[in-house]
Structure 1
């Protein structure tokens, strides 16, 4: 299969050596590459030859340290990790072919990896926006729909649930044993029992605002079963009584955010990120946030500390005597 072209791939001047030309003919004929992909392979080899010439070494004499140096040069020049990975893939293919032709003893690109792309920060709402979302009430909406959506928003933001954990909740543990339910709400205890990733169960607290919203929803929920043949145990259901899907929750939350006047994109995981970020800002207890989110490794939770760097830096600037700048 051909690979998509990156945003920019500048041509490299120069004449390719015979072995490079033979490889390009091989992939054109044997692999039947698309013309655009063949062009990209050609440009990759031009770049490799130019690097080899700058190092004063022949193309087939390149070793892994040379390849790593070329990677470092591309990275420092601003090429993206993904772009470098694509170029390395082209080079790796050439040397694989060269090794099969007994032109090189081994592939110098094997084991060489592109730099890691920085992990994008999870997006979290400002506290004011999160409160605007959960406090929003559409007076013109169907009270049944409005009550359900309010309870979902409160639970997502107030307890940091994944959307799959939310739709997996039942109104009770089950008739015989807790194992019969994927998850459930214990209103009396103010807890949510959820089944997370890896089939790991955990208990998270449900705040007073979410409890009030859930109680209001549970009073209206039975309306869906007025003409239903069976009673669905799911906590969150649609008008026909079926358990809500994750896609339905996404759509309802996006609509609620629009009605609440939020301009940023809002989906269930944004509320989970907001829960973690706001809790960490207030408590500073990374270990507790890890437990509440159900992260197997604390390194996953530590990404939220990056969200709050500016907040913490400002607090340091304002509070620490050695941080205060002279005015």
Structure 2
């Protein structure tokens, strides 16, 4: 391979080994070669050769790749290529240790959960479609109100029964305006139910018996009379979002994210949001502070007279 000649002898021979003996595809070989070029450049500044590289060197180089903006997944691929190279050297006794063993790429930052804007959430909640089946429309409206108005998980919503019982996973006490749900880790919590959600619940209960099978305890049932499944709720929510004209794919957890984000934007009370969501650890809830700052940043950029400086546009 002509490209291999640019690498030092060990790296070049290993690349040939990957091509001839391992029969790796050209695209994969290109990834390996890029990783080896990085390794050689890092090692060139050391007073020792590639065979004397130590774990602390590799950890420092992985950190430098991260600082250069290389994605965590890409760093993991680079480290995998280096690890294989030193393993290959070790089989012939040319190195006494593999300096890449135990070195891992920096953890990828978790993407922020997607939330609807307030206007989008309101449009979804206030959708009334007179053209469809009244019972289906009332049921779907109640589902949206509980997901967005109470921040319920889809499993918590599915588990709701019409009334409390010894076997009920959850139920809504309309007189106290509270939803009692069974969350993660079989932990129970009670969530306030707002006026619009209670009104939607009354509308649905007035029509539920036209769909529910005899003796079915589930609050939300399908056209065959049994308890709705998470998949059915996701499908219906996608359809409702399309009817509401939302330009994005809406799923149940997005409404939970929207509930948390909008509540935090209005109240700033992180601890209260944690309790309402049923998070065991407040660090899980803190992701919504990032959503909140993102919202504030957009407001600033759109409205503040000095915001244009942030994008490089000079003030006039």
Tell me what 2:84 maps to.
93
Question: Distance in 2 between the 1:16 and 1:249 partners?
Answer: 59
More moved, 284-293 vs 116-125: 116-125
After superposition, the Cα gap between the structure-2 partners of 1:263 and 1:22, relative to the gap in structure 1 and judged at 3 Å, is closer
Partner Cα distance (2:298, 2:32) in 1: 49
1:24 is displaced (CA, Å) by 5.8
Q: Which residue of 2 aligns with 1:323?
A: none
Q: Report the 3-state secondary structure (helix = DSSP H, G, I; strand = E; otherwise coil) of the residue aligned with 1:244.
A: coil
Unaligned runs of 5+ in 1: 1-10, 317-326
* TM-aligned CA deviation for residue 313 of structure 1: 6.6
When structure 1 is superposed on structure 2, of 162-171 and 46-55 the one drifting more is 46-55
Counterpart contact for 1:170–1:234, Cα < 8 Å: yes
**1:38 positional shift:** 4.5
> 1:127/1:15 Cα in 2 relative to 1: closer, same or farther (>3 Å)?
closer
1:181–1:242 CA distance, 2 compared to 1 (3 A): same
- Deviation per CA, 1:259-290, whole angstroms, max 9, x where unpaired? 11221222111110110011111221111111
Q: Aligned-pair distance for 1:130?
A: 0.8
Q: How many angstroms does 1:158 deviate by?
A: 0.5
Q: What's 2:275 paired with?
A: 291
Kept after mapping to 2: 8 A contact 1:28/1:38: no
Q: Distance in 2 between matches of 1:32 and 1:203?
A: 59
Q: Counterparts of 1:280 and 1:18 in 2: how far apart (Å)?
A: 57
Q: For the structure 1 residues 28 and 269, does the alpha-carbon distance in structure 2 shift closer, same or farther, using more than 3 Å as the test?
A: farther
Q: Which moved more, 1:100-109 or 1:261-270?
A: 100-109
Query: How much has 1:208 moved relative to structure 2?
Result: 1.2
- Give yes or no for the alignment of 1:157 onto 2:144: no
- Please tell me whether the aligned partners of residues 24 and 38 of structure 1 are also in contact (alpha carbons under 8 angstroms): no
Find the counterpart in structure 2 of residue 17 from structure 1. 9
Partner of residue 40, structure 2: 49
Distance 1:206 1:312 in 2: 27
| Greater mean deviation of Cα atoms: 202-211 or 52-61 | 52-61
User: Per the alignment, in what secondary structure is the counterpart of residue 264 of structure 2?
Assistant: helix
**Is the contact made by 1:23 and 1:97 (CA closer than 8 Å) also made in structure 2?**
no
In 2: Cα distance, 1:116 partner to 1:82 partner: 9
Q: Secondary structure at the match of 1:224?
A: coil
Is structure 2 residue 236 aligned with structure 1 residue 252? Answer: yes
2:218 alignment counterpart:
234
| Match of residue 183 from structure 1 | 170
CA distance in 1, matches of 2:296, 2:189: 30
SS at match of 1:84: helix
- TM-score between both structures, scaled by the size of structure 1: 0.82
| Contact 2:11-2:36 at 8 Å conserved across structures | no
- Please, what is the CA RMSD of the aligned residues? 2.9
Aligned length: 302
Q: 2:97 aligns with which of 106, 126, 137?
A: 106
Q: Quick one: distance in 2 between partners of 1:299 and 1:109?
A: 32
2:157 corresponds to:
166
Checking the alignment, whether the CA contact within 8 Å between 1:185 and 1:192 is kept in structure 2 is yes
Aligned equivalent of 1:124: 115
Q: Would the aligned equivalents of 2:32 and 2:81 in 1 still touch at CA under 8 Å?
A: yes
SS at match of 1:122: coil
Q: Is residue 12–residue 43 contact of structure 1 (8 Å, CA) maintained in 2?
A: no
Instruction: Note the C-alpha offset of 1:47.
Output: 2.9
